[in-house]
């Protein structure tokens, strides 16, 4: 029996298997007009084709809780009801295909107002670009060569926490069954966690208890409106990959315990993204040990992600107790049917799609 294709129950939701799609920005939403930030045909096919491919749980790309929290002007958002309504068709179809629809709730912080990567990789939009805006962050420190953000006031922090909760309420109305708070990759929540990007001297900066405050407030606010029956995930960057002055794996274990106490059901364990010149030893499996530490030391369920491409490798991660599920990103872009091929390779029969049965 393959573990990869064993269901995973979290609260009242059961993912039919443990092959899940990682959030991936598509930079394909309208950047202007009444449908700004609303999913369209591109997002429908992007998410639905992975569900048709047998992926058990499908996460949307980083979906902004406020307009200024978009990474780029072309990101998805869920700060208004038009956007929420546009998601309904997608969540309904994912559920019809047997997949659990999840949404990643996000604020890009100092990495907001970026260009599309195929236009200017990793760069801010020029300040005079008609679609650019002023980014915000815990401190007015730029990420590399990007435009410097302005520092959030305590009132603005409180408002941002509320907007995360309002976005979660809309996500529920839109039919999502999992919400994931984006606390990774050098975006706003991660910027507060890491001393590398958080230089505040008030209650939100300094010791780790203060740096975790924003993440924990967001978690509490989202959990308060997200029904008890539905799972809540949190994506973390488990390390900044610098020797000193950054967020560490030990910090992640502590955070995991605090998140679990506040009703987080699974930690989605990524790394990096907050330090432009960090040296990251990228190779297959390289982020899995961080998921394993959280699972064994905090006792929280985890999903491993990063260069997981082979069915036997994925099965081994679960069989050896390193994680509870795997998230695939780029491999699913290359092959939306990865889960079906993996099931065949592991001797498991996924329910057939009637329409494609002859293949």
Ligand X SMILES: Cc1cc2nc3c(=O)[nH]c(=O)nc-3n(C[C@H](O)[C@H](O)[C@H](O)COP(=O)(O)O)c2cc1C
**Residues labelled catalytic:** 187
Near ligand X by CB under 6 A: residue from 306, 315, 324, 348: 306
Near ligand X by CB under 6 A: residue from 330, 344, 352, 356: 330
Give residue number: closest CB to ligand X: 329
**Closest approach of ligand X to the CB of residue 309, in Å:** 7
Q: What secondary structure letter does DSSP report for 114? A: B
Return the closest-CA partner of residue 356 out of 100, 40, 97.
Answer: 97
The reply on whether position 331 binds ligand X by CB under 6 A is: yes
Return the closest-CA partner of residue 134 out of 149, 124, 123, 145.
Answer: 149
235-264 residues in contact with ligand X (CB under 6 A) are 235
Dihedral (Cα; 121, 122, 128, 131), 10-degree rounding: 80
Near ligand X by CB under 6 A: residue from 8, 10, 38, 62: 62
Specify whether the CB–CB gap between 130 and 115 falls below 8 A: no
Give the integer Cα–Cα distance in Å for 268 and 308. 14
Please identify, among the stretches 170-178, 222-230, 258-266, 326-334, the one whose residues bind ligand X according to the rule CB under 6 A.
Answer: 326-334
**Closest approach of ligand X to the CB of residue 336, in Å:** 14
- Residue closer to ligand X by CB (options 24, 225) is 24
Binding track over 127-166 against ligand X, x by CB under 6 A: ----------------------------------------
Near ligand X by CB under 6 A: residue from 36, 57, 61, 136: 61
Specify whether the CB–CB gap between 14 and 7 falls below 8 A: yes
Please identify, among the stretches 86-94, 236-244, 328-336, 348-356, the one whose residues bind ligand X according to the rule CB under 6 A.
Answer: 328-336
Binding track over 197-236 against ligand X, x by CB under 6 A: --------------------------------------x-
**Closest approach of ligand X to the CB of residue 95, in Å:** 22
Specify whether the CB–CB gap between 314 and 308 falls below 8 A: yes
Specify whether the CB–CB gap between 157 and 188 falls below 8 A: no
Give the integer Cα–Cα distance in Å for 31 and 229. 34
Q: Specify the DSSP element, H or E, that contains 20.
A: strand 19-21
Binding track over 7-36 against ligand X, x by CB under 6 A: ---------------xxxx-----------
The reply on whether position 182 binds ligand X by CB under 6 A is: yes
The reply on whether position 42 binds ligand X by CB under 6 A is: no
Cβ within 8 Å of residue 233, ≥6 positions away: 102, 178, 179, 180, 181, 264, 265, 266, 267, 268, 303
Near ligand X by CB under 6 A: residue from 165, 184, 215, 269: 184
DSSP E strands, 120-171: 136-137, 150-151
Give the integer Cα–Cα distance in Å for 167 and 173. 10
The reply on whether position 302 binds ligand X by CB under 6 A is: no
Which residues of the shown chain bind ligand X in the complex (CB under 6 A)?
22-25, 61-62, 104, 182, 184-185, 235, 270, 305-308, 328-331
């Amino acid at each position: 029996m393959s573990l990869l294709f064993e269901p995973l129950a979290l609260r009242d939701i059961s993912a039919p298997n443990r092959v899940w799609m990682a959030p991936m920005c598509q930079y394909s939403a309208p950047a202007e007009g009444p449908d700004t930030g609303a999913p369209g045909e591109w997002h429908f096919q992007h998410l639905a084709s992975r569900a048709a491919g047998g992926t058990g749980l499908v996460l949307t790309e980083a979906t902004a809780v406020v307009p200024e929290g978009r990474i780029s002007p072309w990101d998805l958002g869920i700060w208004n009801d038009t956007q929420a309504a546009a998601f309904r068709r997608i969540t309904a179809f994912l559920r019809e295909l047997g997949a659990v629809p999840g949404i990643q709730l996000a604020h890009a912080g100092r990495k907001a107002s970026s260009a599309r990567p195929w236009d200017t990789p990793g760069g801010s939009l020029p300040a005079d670009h008609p679609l650019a805006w002023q980014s915000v962050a815990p401190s007015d420190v730029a990420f590399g060569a990007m435009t410097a953000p302005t520092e959030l006031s305590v009132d603005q922090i409180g408002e941002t926490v509320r907007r995360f909760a309002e976005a979660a309420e809309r996500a529920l109305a839109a039919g999502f069954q999992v919400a994931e708070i984006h606390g990774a990759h050098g975006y706003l929540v991660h910027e507060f966690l890491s001393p590398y990007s958080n230089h505040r001297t008030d209650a939100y900066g300094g010791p780790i208890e203060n740096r975790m405050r924003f993440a924990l407030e967001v978690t509490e606010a989202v959990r308060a409106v997200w029904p008890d029956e539905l799972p809540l995930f949190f994506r973390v960057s488990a390390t900044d990959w610098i020797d000193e002055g950054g967020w560490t794996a030990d910090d992640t274990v502590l955070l995991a315990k605090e998140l679990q106490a506040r009703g987080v059901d699974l930690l989605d364990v990524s790394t990096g993204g907050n330090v432009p010149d960090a040296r990251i030893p990228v190779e297959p499996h390289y982020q899995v040990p961080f998921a394993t530490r959280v699972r064994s030391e905090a006792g929280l369920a985890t999903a491993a992600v990063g260069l997981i491409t082979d069915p036997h490798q994925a099965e081994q991660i679960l069989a050896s107790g390193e994680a509870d599920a795997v998230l695939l990103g780029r491999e699913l872009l290359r092959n939306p049917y990865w889960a079906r091929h993996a099931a065949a390779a592991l001797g498991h029969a996924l329910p057939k799609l009637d329409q494609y049965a002859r293949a």
